[in-house]
Amino acid sequence: MAAFQLSAQGIRDSIFHINGVEVTAIPLFEKEYAGMKMTRVDTAYLEGKATLSLSDLLSEHTSVFIKNYGRGALATASFRGSAPSHTQVLWNGIQLNSPMAGMVDFSLIPVYLIDQLTLFHGPSSLDNGGGGIGGAIHIQNAAHWEGPPSVRYIQGIGSYSTFDEFLQLGVGSGKWRVQTRLYHNYSKNDFTYVNTGIGNLDPVTGKISHPLEINENAAYRRYGVLQEIYYRPRANQVFSFKYWGQFADRSIPRPTSYEGPDHSNLNNQQDMDHRVVADWHHYGESGKWMARTGYARKNLDYNQQNLVPGLGLIPVVASRSIQQALYHTLAYTYNPASGFSVKGKMDVTLHDVSSQDSVSLTGYDQHRYEVAMLLSARKNLADRVNLNVMLRQDWIDGQRAPFSPYLGFDIKLIDGKELLLKGNLARNYHHPSLNDLYWQPGGNPGLVPEQGFTMETGLEYRVVLAGQLIRTEMTAYRSDIRHWIIWIPGFRGYWEPRNIERVRSTGLEYALHIQGHIGGFGYKLMGTYAYTRSVNYGDPLVWGDHSYGKQLVYIPLHSGNLMVRVSFREWYVTYQYNAYSERYTTTSNDLSGRYRLSPYFMNNLTAGWSIHLKRVDVNTELRVYNLFNESYHSILHRPMPGRNYSLVLMIKI
């Protein structure tokens, strides 16, 4: 059954033998993915990281840079040096990007909900949607057809009153599978830190000291449910239905320099999400149908309140927004002969947004109607070359968006070896978000789409060498993005978005994966390195504008991570390292220490014990985050916790 599911997705596994241990992996040379740079995150790795947020996983494991506003707080992604709205995120085929702001808060996505995670770097995202100038991240859920009813429970207890509970149940027969996941995460998040934003003056010596403070107003709570129902009436047909509901409640800390009244400047954000998606797959002899329909609704409430004596807590911001979307997709893939396939796909999406602030009485009600057509052809030549052509055309509210073509290739350099030369040439675009167009005041309906022209090439290699599985990939890319949108105060006194910058993003991505056994020890090493030069080449505004030719803010030139895991019998130790070079917070790349974030080096260590008792797997882990108890910032003046611990118990029946 597993083989069916995999072949049904058009992917046939390769099997490797490493010192007698069988390892399955997806083949590299597939015409459907020719020229596409993808990172598939290992399923076992995902399971082990179930208690994390997707933001943590991406920064630990991939070349995506995560801008993190604090523990449990907003986390946005920069893929290949692009803006947060340039990363498209799909959950089982439906978009998670907010139509209002265009971006995704990755801290709100628990890894626990993810069965398959795939990153599509740069224009390879065009296969599943436009707008991913930086790339796309796909989150998939899958039926675990095999096996009897299953139960999985995870309990995490961590520093700062952090509690994570996850329960997963699965039942099914040969035709049905019903899977339910429930979860709850809470953290008081009250770590202590030296607050360098406040200076206390000693009245005698005149010396200034910084107080040791508790990270106040930073608690977060998140709970939700994921319900999946799969029905397979015949071997060549699958229906699925998935519902994901989540509520998140977060307080947002005040500036560290805040010394106003205790009950003022209180900020809170609540996100309530409901997402439903149903799809149907039919696998014919020479073709494959897929139909999908989905609905999403998000209620986002943001409040800022001050205590006014005699009047109580008075809101100064009381923003309520309701974002709804309907998604429909129909796709057909035709395989007239082996070595050739064509695919046609149509998406129709309707977004409806109502955003109102009951204090300023501002807001907007808007909807957007999107139609997208994709036509692709994939050809294998002589079992050595794969070609992939994709032509994408979107219409937004009836207006034709920029045409997005893609041409990609894979060349098997040595017959019989998994050594590929890959490359692609593509154009992509990103439409302004509804806030960009309609925010009050400032929204600019005259904005044009951001357009990216990208080329990339790389080498990918996989080999079993001396009993070790080695996979490595290096990619170089260049992306020119015109009409890049930035918000800036306009002549009328409020912030307005403008298509002003031209950004050229050039970079290098390297990934290495080695696993094997030495004696009784098993080991795994995974690392990525990215060189990202994302530079503004927009017209300088005045002579004093020093932003021309400078790296975009908060994008590190060098970033990398490394994970080493060593296991012996039922014991294992995992060391996780993550580093970024300095990041600028000014568009002029001001070097003064106050406007620059120092290089970031983070070390985490996990020790675990895993046993198999009859039908029960028990796994206990102790995790140490920020091993060297470093004091650091990820965003200017946003405190981050020192060394902290988490104890995780996982039970699987």
Instruction: Find residue 585's DSSP bridge partners.
Output: none
Q: Which is nearer to other proteins, 138 or 623 (CB)?
A: 623
Instruction: Find residue 552's DSSP bridge partners.
Output: none
Least distance between other proteins and beta carbon 630 (Å): 5
Least distance between other proteins and beta carbon 520 (Å): 8
Q: Which is nearer to other proteins, 521 or 645 (CB)?
A: 521
Least distance between other proteins and beta carbon 635 (Å): 8
Q: What is the dihedral of CA 537, 541, 546, 552, to 10 degrees?
A: -40
Q: How many CB atoms lie within 10 A of CB 492?
A: 9
Cis peptide before 540 (omega within 30 of 0): no
Q: Which is nearer to other proteins, 416 or 520 (CB)?
A: 520
State the Cα–Cα distance between residues 388 and 377, nearest whole angstrom: 6
Q: Which is nearer to other proteins, 230 or 584 (CB)?
A: 584
Q: How many CB atoms lie within 10 A of CB 599?
A: 13
Residue among 323, 333, 325 at smallest CA distance from 293? 325
Q: How many CB atoms lie within 10 A of CB 486?
A: 18
Pairing verdict, β 450-465 and 212-214 = unpaired
Contact residues for 171 (Cβ-Cβ < 8 A; gap 6+): 149, 177, 178
Least distance between other proteins and beta carbon 221 (Å): 23
Given phi > 0 = left and psi -120 to 50 = alpha, else beta, which region is 134? alpha
Residue type, 189: N
Q: Which is nearer to other proteins, 324 or 588 (CB)?
A: 588
State the Cα–Cα distance between residues 366 and 314, nearest whole angstrom: 29
Pairing verdict, β 87-91 and 135-140 = parallel
Is residue 51 within 8 Å of residue 156, measured between CB atoms? yes
Least distance between other proteins and beta carbon 439 (Å): 12
Length of the chain: 653
Q: Which is nearer to other proteins, 199 or 336 (CB)?
A: 199
Least distance between other proteins and beta carbon 261 (Å): 5
Q: Which is nearer to other proteins, 406 or 580 (CB)?
A: 580
Least distance between other proteins and beta carbon 547 (Å): 6
Least distance between other proteins and beta carbon 486 (Å): 8
First-residue to last-residue Cα distance in the chain:
20
State the Cα–Cα distance between residues 186 and 248, nearest whole angstrom: 10
Q: Which is nearer to other proteins, 2 or 208 (CB)?
A: 208
Q: Which is nearer to other proteins, 81 or 93 (CB)?
A: 81
DSSP annotation of 62: S
Least distance between other proteins and beta carbon 528 (Å): 14
DSSP annotation of 85: G
Q: Which is nearer to other proteins, 543 or 613 (CB)?
A: 543
Least distance between other proteins and beta carbon 574 (Å): 12
Instruction: Find residue 639's DSSP bridge partners.
Output: 633
